[in-house]
Structure 1
Amino acid sequence: MSHPHPELGTPPKLPRNGLRVVALGGLGEVGRNMTVLEHRGRLLVIDCGVLFPQEHQPGVDVILPDFSFIRDRLDDVAGIVLTHGHEDHIGGVPYLLRERPEIPVVGSRLTLGLLRAKLKEHRIEPTTVEVAEGDRRSLGSFDCEFVAVNHSIPDGLAVAVRTAAGTLLHTGDFKMDQFPLDDRITDLRAFARLGEEGVDLFLVDSTNAEVPGFTTSERDLAPAIETVFRTAPGRVIVSSFASHVHRIQQVLDAARAHKRKVAFVGRSMVRNMGIARELGYLNVPRGLVVDAKELEGLPDHKVTLVCTGSQGEPMAALSRMANRDHQIRIGEGDTILLASSLIPGNENAISRVINGLTRWGAKVVHQGNAKVHVSGHASAGELVYCYNIVRPRNVMPVHGEWRHLRANADLAIRTGIAPDRVVVADDGVVVDLIDGRAKVTGKVRAGYVYVDGASVGGVTEEALRDRVTLSQQGTVTVVALVDADTGELTEPPDFLARGFGTDEALFEGAVPAIERALAGAAAKGIGDAHELEQLMARALSQWVARKHRRNPLVIPVVIEA
Structure 2
Amino acid sequence: MSAALRTPPQLPPDTLRVIPLGGLGDVGRNMAALEVNGEILLIDCGVLFPEDDHPGVDLILPGFEAIADRLDDVVGLVLTHGHEDHIGAVPYLLRQRVDIPLIGSRLTLALLREKLKEHRLRDVQYRTVEDSQRIVVGGFDLEFVAVNHSIPDALAVFVRTAAGTVLHTGDFKMDQLPLDGRITDLRAFARMGEEGVDLFMTDSTNAEVPGFTTPERDIMPALERVFARSKQRLIVACFASHVHRVQQVLDAAVTHGRKVVYVGRSMVRNMKVASDLGYLKVPADTVIDLRDVDSYRPDQVVLISTGSQGEPLSALSRMANREHPVIDLQPGDTVVLASSLIPGNETSIYRVINGLAGLGATVVHKGNAMVHVSGHASAGELLYCYNIVRPRNVMPVHGEVRHLIANADLAVATGVPRERTVLAEDGTVVDLAQGRARIVGQVDTSYIFVDGSTVGDISETQLTDRKILGEEGFISVLAVVNTRSQRLISGPDIHARGFHEDDTVFDPVAAQITKALEEALGDGVVDASRLQQVIRRTLGRWVSNSYRRRPMIVPLVVTV
Q: Bin the TM-score by the shorter chain.
A: over 0.9
TM-score by length of 2: 0.97
1:75 aligned partner: 72
Cα separation, 2, equivalents of 1:107 and 1:441: 30
Whether 1:420 and 2:419 are equivalent positions in the alignment is: yes
Describe the SS at the equivalent of 2:192: helix
Whether 1:537 and 2:536 are equivalent positions in the alignment is: yes
1:448 aligned partner: 447
Deviations 1:218-270 (A, max 9, x none): 01111111111122111211111000000000000010011111111110100
Whether 1:92 and 2:119 are equivalent positions in the alignment is: no
1:392-407 mapped onto 2 (5 Å cutoff)? 392-407=391-406
- The match for 2:148 among 133, 147, 150 is 150
Cα pair 1:475 1:499 within 8 Å, conserved: yes
Cα pair 2:492 2:514 within 8 Å, conserved: no
Describe the SS at the equivalent of 1:146: strand
- Flag the 1:7–1:357 CA change in 2: closer, same or farther, 3 A: closer
Describe the SS at the equivalent of 2:21: strand
2:280 aligned partner: 282
2:109 aligned partner: 112
Describe the SS at the equivalent of 1:44: strand
How large is the RMSD of aligned CA atoms in angstroms? 1.4
Deviations 1:175-221 (A, max 9, x none): 00000000000000000000000000000000000000000000111
Cα separation, 1, equivalents of 2:82 and 2:195: 29
Describe the SS at the equivalent of 2:231: coil
- Flag the 1:524–1:93 CA change in 2: closer, same or farther, 3 A: farther
Cα pair 1:218 1:374 within 8 Å, conserved: yes
Whether 1:273 and 2:299 are equivalent positions in the alignment is: no
- The match for 1:178 among 163, 176, 179 is 176
Pairwise CA distance, 1:512: 4.4
- Flag the 1:286–1:492 CA change in 2: closer, same or farther, 3 A: same
Cα pair 1:513 1:543 within 8 Å, conserved: no
Cα pair 1:487 1:518 within 8 Å, conserved: no
Cα separation, 2, equivalents of 1:531 and 1:106: 58
- Flag the 1:76–1:258 CA change in 2: closer, same or farther, 3 A: same
1:121 aligned partner: 118
Cα separation, 2, equivalents of 1:292 and 1:504: 48
Describe the SS at the equivalent of 1:376: coil
Describe the SS at the equivalent of 1:490: strand
Deviations 1:4-35 (A, max 9, x none): 45334100001102111111110011001010
**Unmatched 5+ stretches in structure 1:** none
Pairwise CA distance, 1:460: 1.2
- Flag the 1:388–1:559 CA change in 2: closer, same or farther, 3 A: same
- The match for 1:205 among 180, 203, 213 is 203
1:233 aligned partner: 231
Pairwise CA distance, 1:295: 2.6
Q: Quick one: which amino acid aligns to residue 259 of structure 2? A: K
1:220 aligned partner: 218
TM-score by length of 1: 0.97
- The match for 2:164 among 155, 160, 166 is 166
1:482 aligned partner: 481
Pairwise CA distance, 1:338: 1.0
Cα pair 2:231 2:299 within 8 Å, conserved: yes
Cα pair 1:150 1:156 within 8 Å, conserved: yes
Q: Quick one: which amino acid aligns to residue 93 of structure 2? A: L
1:134-145 mapped onto 2 (5 Å cutoff)? 134-145=132-143
507-516 vs 187-196, which moves further: 507-516
Q: Quick one: which amino acid aligns to residue 276 of structure 1? A: A
Whether 1:388 and 2:361 are equivalent positions in the alignment is: no
- Flag the 1:519–1:18 CA change in 2: closer, same or farther, 3 A: farther
Pairwise CA distance, 1:523: 6.2
Pairwise CA distance, 1:329: 1.0
2:408 aligned partner: 409
459-468 vs 209-218, which moves further: 459-468
1:502 aligned partner: 501
Cα separation, 2, equivalents of 1:534 and 1:486: 20
Pairwise CA distance, 1:530: 2.5
- The match for 2:18 among 18, 21, 24 is 21
**Unmatched 5+ stretches in structure 2:** none
Percent of aligned pairs with the same residue?
61
Cα separation, 2, equivalents of 1:310 and 1:444: 35
- Flag the 1:503–1:291 CA change in 2: closer, same or farther, 3 A: closer
Cα separation, 2, equivalents of 1:128 and 1:312: 33
Pairwise CA distance, 1:538: 2.5
Whether 1:255 and 2:253 are equivalent positions in the alignment is: yes
Deviations 1:463-492 (A, max 9, x none): 111111111111100001012235442233
2:545 aligned partner: 546
Cα separation, 1, equivalents of 2:134 and 2:28: 27
1:42 aligned partner: 39
Pairwise CA distance, 1:92: 0.4
Pairwise CA distance, 1:542: 1.8
Q: Quick one: which amino acid aligns to residue 443 of structure 2? A: V
Cα pair 1:488 1:515 within 8 Å, conserved: no
Describe the SS at the equivalent of 2:171: coil
Q: Quick one: which amino acid aligns to residue 63 of structure 1? A: I
Cα separation, 2, equivalents of 1:148 and 1:135: 10
Whether 1:11 and 2:26 are equivalent positions in the alignment is: no
* Equivalent residue pairs, number: 558
Pairwise CA distance, 1:372: 0.7
Whether 1:351 and 2:350 are equivalent positions in the alignment is: yes
Deviations 1:355-396 (A, max 9, x none): 211222211111011111000000000000000000000000
- The match for 1:64 among 61, 76, 80 is 61
Pairwise CA distance, 1:518: 3.4
Q: Quick one: which amino acid aligns to residue 303 of structure 1? A: V
- The match for 2:29 among 18, 28, 32 is 32
1:133 aligned partner: 131
